[in-house]
Chain A
């Protein structure tokens, strides 16, 4: 069996070639156990394995009611009338609310653009839009009452693609837009447009020996977090409300919720409940406002829990995309130019579409050196389901297309696809198409080299003395092949993702750190509003506090809005930004503690004034290792507490005409090698192995880092071979809102995922770390696609690949 404590960088991993960067050096806290760099275990692990960890759907309150949402059955329609009388008369029903019952002037919300009605007003713009809400004493009572609400719709033609959205006579999805993108878009049904122009593509095309074009389609992926949207709203005595909720960003929710309730933010208290995964799907609001409205209306606690069907309508999805690319290269394998046009379908409401457009455009050429580019990305308003954040955020769609293009060019040139990528790989100092230089290690070629150097999985693993083990074959337990038609293929891909919020966003986090002596031991308490969604931020915060304060005991305070914002648990940013804030606050606490020490003990030992002082093992020590005092003696009954905001370096918006600008904080890179076996006759795929190499700058918790890489890799695998929300182009209705027909990988679909981790410090980031969570989701999908192409010889310009595509049926 394999080792339970994972070898970090793989044993016998390929040695580094030329020096690419240096690892982070830690002084303070290096002697303290459980600090950064160790695979400490989750503080919530015990509660999670015993079933005691309280997720948002587990909340319960005496006398609570159940909320239920009535959703539109059509995608685009005028609402002629709504009759709630029968629902209201149902025994057990405490409230029924529609748009007309909303308490405040503000009746819309939105992360970037406030365009989403809390309840539909006169019109519905997508299938499943909330129309009315009900509170009752049992979920079944609420469902039955909702079914009695009569809504008369007058259906309107649906807009489902670029052609129908931008037709001269197209119905406008939103009238009278006043958002900050409206001024520069070519059509009101375009949320945002970001061109990037650099160099001279026409001249570069002249230099090209080969020019390769491709049209690509990326399907609509769902985050499919397992814990459905849910929460409990409890009315407070002062007329406010307390919301226990699973979200990715408490303060962004608060900012959107309070105005709609007609309450000041101080009267809306929010506490993070257990979050059953997120992956971007909890960035936008779902049931938050509805639960609060019903609680305030009825004066009783109201719980709402979506079932899986509702969940598919209750959150935004990953933008489906159409991508057109042209790559040029010289005979010796140098890219001359890239042009691309990326059309992202944002659906009925903006959500984060504008930022996704910015990401897709700025990362559209991949981690390669190319001086001459002509790039355009747009995001549409349509009547399709709203799309927004999902792990990889605009970079995923582009990576699928540019990596397919890189393989095509390599093939055209007769070059090895990995060597061709390495030849064009960016490195530290490369200038992005946006004009931004990459100013930290960018070991793209090295990651490819490492992933290629990993040993290949053995052939024909399904063969055993007892015959074919179908569990190891395409089709699995369905017993479709005993080896017939099965062909192996290998494919590679690499990607680039930005870390943190970009384009001038004031992306900060707040941390409150307290140190005091409890029972003779120094204890640190870390309080942030960071949403722990499973990623392990709580583990890392405790590690940082141990390292920075030299203590063994760290308490993680529950996340709530009683402390400043920690920003979003997204964009691979939490370890960087909230981790940075925790470190910063710890440093401030440390200074204060040393100040107290100097005041109290300075006269006893000259080192207090002259030496560099560290906190280690609950003591104040000199950098030479001499113990000056116990922290318990320094602090006595004094508590030191600091709450401070921390920011990463600023970014700036991309120029709206040229796309130039210092738009991103940091980049992260991962490479994959996929080995697949395809039943070419039935078009079924078994991924045999999906190896990954990633640079993480500094792994604060190696076990968690590997978990992130393997999890992200698997979501990319799902996108390659099975995951897609299917929307009927004629009606814009979702056809598969269930786990029966929206399939995510099972453990039998998921291969071994060997991981090789590089740690090359980014000097701009805390501890040199690099955001980890998203990069592995990028290159996983194109690597699997490349492997399937390698096995079948098919072109395959869309993902996910379905058996129909592999069998030409």
Chain B
């Protein structure tokens, strides 16, 4: 079957989709967007988290046919999504630069420097919340959405919002640091 939907603001179309395919498979294997990850494919890890019409969902449990005509945001579109949001709400829009200045430590040459990042993405790098990084895309989408809803979360709020995202490397402490950092920078920027 054919499935047409919007991903990160761009119309996309996938052909010859097998009816049992998930949104995750279509994103990864048909649309060249492998950011959402395939760690469990049973809704028990959150690595495939994307936003479907604004709502965080496990894309492994959304049948491809169900997204017809709908809007999806993946980690690949997170920076742009966050930028639009911050413009839309009249924030002065310098938070990103501030965030980047904070990170002015020894970076290496071939690392995608100059890439524009959302505050939560930058905070994950800065706080050391990324190790193997396989859980990172899903966590970023979930954390970004939580901060959109709840700009001043308590630690318990952060833990609850991220309780559907497993990480095996970090012990979550640096992830907590990253989300607190993103919240604080967001607060300074407004």
Contacts and interface: CB of A to CB of B under 8 A. Distances in A.
Judge A-B direct contact (beta carbons within 8 Å): yes
A746 B160 contact: no
Given A2-B180, A39-B105, A50 B75 contact: yes
B56 to A, nearest CB: 15
Interface stretch (B61-69, B83-91, B119-127): B119-127
Contact of B163 (A47, A276, A746): A746
Given A225-B132, A226-B167, A715-B168, A308 B42 contact: yes
B171 to A, nearest CB: 3
A523 B109 CA distance: 10
A274 B156 CA distance: 32
B112 to A, nearest CB: 4
B74 interface: yes
B29 interface: yes
B27 to A, nearest CB: 10
Given A43-B110, A554-B109, A707-B169, A748 B163 contact: yes
B39 to A, nearest CB: 4
Interface in A515-564: 523, 533-536, 542-543, 546, 552-556
A639 interface: no
A227 B37 contact: yes
Contacts of A40: 105-107
B158 to A, nearest CB: 8
Contacts of A753: 171, 173
Given A38-B106, A226-B167, A714-B172, A533 B111 contact: no
A505 interface: no
A41 B128 CA distance: 7
A226 B132 contact: yes
A277 B45 CA distance: 14
B35 A52 contact: yes
B183 to A, nearest CB: 8
Contact of B29 (A60, A228, A477, A554): A60
Contact of A750 (B105, B169, B172): B172
A38 B106 CA distance: 9
Interface in B141-190: 156, 158-160, 162-178, 180-181, 183-184
Given A34-B106, A41-B103, A747 B172 contact: yes
B72 interface: no
Nearest to B178: A4
A258 interface: no
A706 interface: yes
Given A46-B113, A54-B34, A739-B40, A38 B105 contact: yes
Nearest to B173: A710
Interface in B21-60: 21, 28-29, 32-42, 44-45, 47
B132 A58 contact: no
A41 B163 contact: no
B171 A50 contact: no
Interface string A1-15: 110101000000000
A277 B132 contact: yes
Contact of B159 (A224, A471, A740): A471
Nearest to B131: A534
Contacts of A710: 170-174
B96 interface: no
B136 A534 contact: no
A48 interface: yes
B128 A308 contact: no
A49 interface: yes
Contacts, number: 239
A41 B125 contact: yes
A138 B16 CA distance: 11
Contacts of B7: none
B114 to A, nearest CB: 9
B132 to A, nearest CB: 3
A52 B76 contact: yes
Nearest to A716: B171
A744 interface: yes
A226 B135 contact: yes
Contacts of A43: 107-108, 110-111
Nearest to B20: A140
A49 B117 contact: yes
Interface string A29-48: 00001100011111111111
A171 interface: no
A744 B168 contact: yes
Interface string A703-717: 110110011111100
A49 B121 CA distance: 6
Given A41-B126, A225-B132, A226-B167, A51 B106 contact: no
For the side of the interface on B, what is the size category?
35 or more
A28 B18 CA distance: 60
Nearest to B115: A46
Contacts of B164: 746
A503 interface: no
B159 A226 contact: no
A706 B172 CA distance: 12
Contact of B174 (A46, A707, A738): A707
A34 B32 CA distance: 35
A359 interface: no
A226 B131 contact: no
A325 interface: no
Contacts of B109: 523, 553-555
A51 B105 contact: no
A420 interface: no
Given A43-B111, A750-B172, A227 B132 contact: yes
Contacts of B113: 46
Nearest to A539: B108
A44 B111 contact: yes
B45 A51 contact: no
A54 to B, nearest CB: 7
A279 B21 CA distance: 31
A554 to B, nearest CB: 6
B166 A226 contact: yes
Nearest to A709: B171
Contact of A1 (B111, B133, B184): B184
Contact of B166 (A51, A223, A275, A739): A739
Given A51-B76, A469-B156, A747-B175, A703 B117 contact: no
A752 interface: yes
A556 B121 contact: no
B79 A50 contact: yes
B151 to A, nearest CB: 13
A307 interface: yes
Contact of B181 (A4, A274, A277): A4
B106 A49 contact: no
A546 B159 CA distance: 38
Contacts of B160: 471, 477, 748
A43 B110 CA distance: 8
A368 interface: no
A305 interface: yes
B134 A55 contact: yes
A556 B109 CA distance: 9
14 contacts: A4-B123, A39-B105, A39-B128, A42-B125, A42-B130, A45-B124, A49-B137, A60-B29, A534-B131, A534-B133, A556-B108, A710-B170, A711-B169, A747-B167
Given A556-B110, A746-B166, A752-B173, 8 more contacts: A43-B111, A60-B32, A276-B39, A471-B159, A542-B108, A711-B171, A746-B163, A748-B159
Interface of B: 18, 20-21, 28-29, 32-42, 44-45, 47, 74-76, 78-79, 103, 105-113, 115, 117, 121-128, 130-137, 140, 156, 158-160, 162-178, 180-181, 183-184
Interface of A: 1-2, 4, 6, 33-34, 38-55, 57-58, 60, 138, 140, 223-228, 274-279, 305, 307-308, 469, 471-472, 476-477, 523, 533-536, 542-543, 546, 552-556, 703-704, 706-707, 710-715, 738-740, 744, 746-748, 750, 752-753
The 8 closest A-B pairs by CB, nearest first: A51-B35, A34-B106, A534-B132, A276-B134, A48-B133, A710-B171, A714-B171, A739-B44
